[in-house]
Amino acid sequence: MAKKDPDIPTTPAVQVIERIFTLIDVLASREEAISLKEISEKAGLHPSTAHRILNDLATGRFVDRPQPGSYRLGMRLLELGNLVKGRLNVRDAALIPMRELHKLIQQPVNLSMRQGDEIVYVERAYSERSGMQVVRAIGGRAPLHLTSVGKLFLAADDPQRIRAYATRTGLQGHTKNSITTVDALERELSRVRQYGQASDNEELELGVRCMAAGIYDDQNKLVAGLSISAPSGRLDDAWLPKLQETAREISSALGHKPGPGR
């Protein structure tokens, strides 16, 4: 009986795809190039099978061969990753989770981003049937130091940038509760860093309180903030864990992987 040539693919297409994913995972586990022998051992594949698949992947630039017999992930994967990243949109990632959060708390949920010395409201989830509520207009703006989301962004800045912001804006207040001094702002931002969330206690508008959690991208950069605004007597601290979980869900959709303690 004739022996089968090990280099002739006889496995079903699905199994081949599974082996490709396994090989990519093995290569992704190390920064440096890996020998064919080690790759085949870690992947649980015969060296000839691993060699054949890796060579096919190298043809498409999904895998590089820096030296004969060694492999690493190729530039094509980076190109595709950057393409996917470029298509990720904070608003698109946030919209459904925001609506789900609104259903739970029956209060408006806002998505805001930083633009210069202000935050801009870019999306909201609310219902006209929810009774008394605080609805922020999409496209509306507010100073960073008077809003919960703005404080998240300021807390991510270094002290020099914070003082420069204070100098540029003069820390103008809108209500008797507004933070209008650098010392008070720095104390507030220290609390934001300590607890990982921010609040607005009638600082932008009397009778309105707000809580916020940050949204991060795959580079661990703060790119937006998710907030709940409500009449002062109706803002419930029990909403905070739900808000934070929703912000984490959106961050995850943007490729963020939380480190220890986040």
Predicted confidence at residue 75, as pLDDT, reads 85
**More confident of the two residues 69 and 3:** 69
Predicted confidence at residue 133, as pLDDT, reads 54
**More confident of the two residues 16 and 243:** 243
Final residue of a structural domain among 51, 84, 117: 84
Final residue of a structural domain among 58, 84, 110: 84
For residues 90 and 99, the answer to whether their CB atoms sit within 8 Å is no
Q: Is the pLDDT of residue 97 over 50?
A: yes
**More confident of the two residues 13 and 221:** 221
Same domain flag for 46 and 99: no
Among residues 223, 254, 258, the alpha carbon closest in space to that of 84 is found at 254
Residues 76-94 have a mean pLDDT of 75
Question: Mean pLDDT for the chain?
Answer: 87
Classify residue 227: in a domain, yes or no: yes
Final residue of a structural domain among 38, 58, 84: 84
Range of the domain at 64: 13-84
For residues 70 and 231, the answer to whether their CB atoms sit within 8 Å is no
Of the pLDDT bands very low, low, confident and very high (cuts 50, 70, 90), residue 130 is low
Same domain flag for 33 and 119: no
Classify residue 7: in a domain, yes or no: no
Of the pLDDT bands very low, low, confident and very high (cuts 50, 70, 90), residue 2 is very low
- Residues, the chain, total? 262
Same domain flag for 103 and 167: yes
Domain of 59, CATH number, reads 1.10.10.10
Same domain flag for 101 and 150: yes
Question: What whole-number distance in Å separates Cα of residue 192 and Cα of residue 88?
Answer: 27
Same domain flag for 80 and 100: no
Domain count, the chain: 2
Residues 140-167 have a mean pLDDT of 95
Residues 127-145 have a mean pLDDT of 73
Same domain flag for 240 and 145: yes
- 158 token code pair: 């270094």
Q: Which string of b and e fits 4-15 if b means at least 16 CB within 10 Å? A: eeeeeeeeeeee
Of the pLDDT bands very low, low, confident and very high (cuts 50, 70, 90), residue 199 is very high
Same domain flag for 58 and 134: no
